[in-house]
Structure 1
């Protein structure tokens, strides 16, 4: 227990340059308190003291503004920075050394039963206000951009941005250099379709203008011919 507490404090000191001392971490970091409260609530949840576990999670929510369902599984070295507005659902699973910023939701879509919430593999960083919704995996060492809405599985070592979330980098390579059959980008596809339509319209306008110029030349030729007569 003491070893785990020391490790939790060290995680904060390592990942937040604003943390200056152990005392400051203990007094001023609600994410740390939420993780500790969750460990107690999860222990009770697994032993079927479900109401008491929920009560503890709600007390923690009141004081920290972080809501973690006691059924969620959270690994070692998880750091919730700032934390206000973070919501982690009942069947969510979070691996080791994950960093979560304020306003993040690990939720469900409302249409699933059983495993309803995402599995976040080790080393993932989830930016401010991101929403990860559904029972899929976010691969290890991925980065979820601030405000992203992720609705499908994310490969390992990926960067996801936007709404809906799309992979823009995987394994250090931009996705426009990857096989687009296996890595679709709906927004890029939409712009490609728009560009093709614009090209077709431009070509049609040029043909019409050329036909109009030819018609004017023919009319001018007829006018000159009548004048000579």
Structure 2
């Protein structure tokens, strides 16, 4: 078993991290009892570690290390990133909470933590983004390539993610360099956040807090998908979507705006600028 150094700022772990770690331990012990054949795997993945941070590191090393990025080397990269920016671990905990609350198929912490490629790809992309932002871009691109190979996703290392992100199934997800995905966003498989091909610079979509993008949706250009908006499966979106609006089709058109969500809009914008009607 790889040795585990003391966790970064162990006494400052957020309540959510402590809650999730406690829940993971309980679920792991329960699974170990129910499925003795998985006991060794559960020990190596959860029970051999003393905190969420180190168990998360172990998952990333198990999934994304390889001949060109050996386990010990990747472990050191992840540890350094977590040490320099504790928000990476906090975001991972928030992401896991999102999986538990929004995934109707499982509804626990353990399954996404152990098995879901969307969760793993997102946590590894957070490390590649950290490297990108700290002038280690060749290493960031190398890790990005490993993520692509293993998870079937293609997320540029420069992409900025918020926390509480839910990426369901993940296969075929493509997100371009200047895209931004804010807190509490849900993305399904085969989603593309791309450019039109006719622009330079800041050229990719901005997915605002609480938005949901359905399977196979294609969103192109430097446009906003507003707070709480929904993009229907298979839609092609080339114009900005106002907050709490549902769009569907090719090209996508609004089909409704959610009156009930008007009070929840906390973007700081003037709520009256939006036409809050159902259509």
* Bin for the TM-score computed over the shorter chain: 0.7 to 0.9
In the alignment, the residues of structure 1 paired with residue 168 and residue 222 of structure 2 have an alpha-carbon distance, to the nearest angstrom, of 24
Deviation of 1:20 (Å): 4.5
Rg larger in structure: 1
Deviation track 1:168-201 (CA, whole Å, cap 9, x = no partner) reads: 112349xxxxxxxx99xxxxxxxxxxxxxxxxxx
1:105 matched to 2:162? The reply is no
Report the 3-state secondary structure (helix = DSSP H, G, I; strand = E; otherwise coil) of the residue aligned with 2:193: strand
Aligned partners of 2:196, 2:90: CA distance in 1, in Å? 38
* Alignment correspondent of 1:221: none
The residue aligned with 1:82 is: 169
**Aligned pair partner of 1:115 in 202, 214, 223:** 202
Query: For 2:155, which of 54, 64, 68 is the aligned residue?
Result: 68
Match among 226, 231, 239 for residue 139 of structure 1: 226
Distance 2:198 2:158 in 1: 19
For residues 74-115 of structure 1, give each alpha carbon's deviation from its aligned partner in whole angstroms, at most 9, with x where no partner exists. Answer: 101111000100001000001100000000000000001100
Structure 2 counterpart of 1:6: 93
2:130 is the counterpart of 1:55: no
Assess if the C-alpha contact under 8 Å between 2:91 and 2:164 holds in 1. Answer: no
- Secondary structure at 2:111 match in 1: helix
Q: Could you tell me whether the CA contact under 8 Å between 2:209 and 2:227 is conserved in 1?
A: yes
Contact residue 159 and residue 175 of structure 2 kept, 8 A: yes
Q: Which residue number in structure 1 is paired with residue 103 of structure 2?
A: 16
Deviations 1:128-169 (A, max 9, x none): 000000001111000000000000111111000000011111
Determine helix, strand or coil for the equivalent of 1:112.
coil
SS in 2 for 1:167: strand
- Find the aligned partners of 1:171 and 1:41 in 2 and give their Cα distance: 37
Match of 1:95 in 2: 182
Gaps of 5+ in 2: 1-85, 261-273
Secondary structure at the residue paired with 1:113?
A: coil
TM-score (norm 2): 0.60
**Residue 245 of structure 2 is aligned to residue 158 of structure 1:** yes
| Local SS of the residue matching 2:128 | helix
The TM-score with structure 1 as length reference comes to 0.73
- Count of residues paired in the alignment: 175
**Secondary structure in structure 1 of the residue aligned to 2:201:** coil
The alignment yields a C-alpha RMSD, in angstroms, of 1.8
The corresponding residue for 1:195 is none
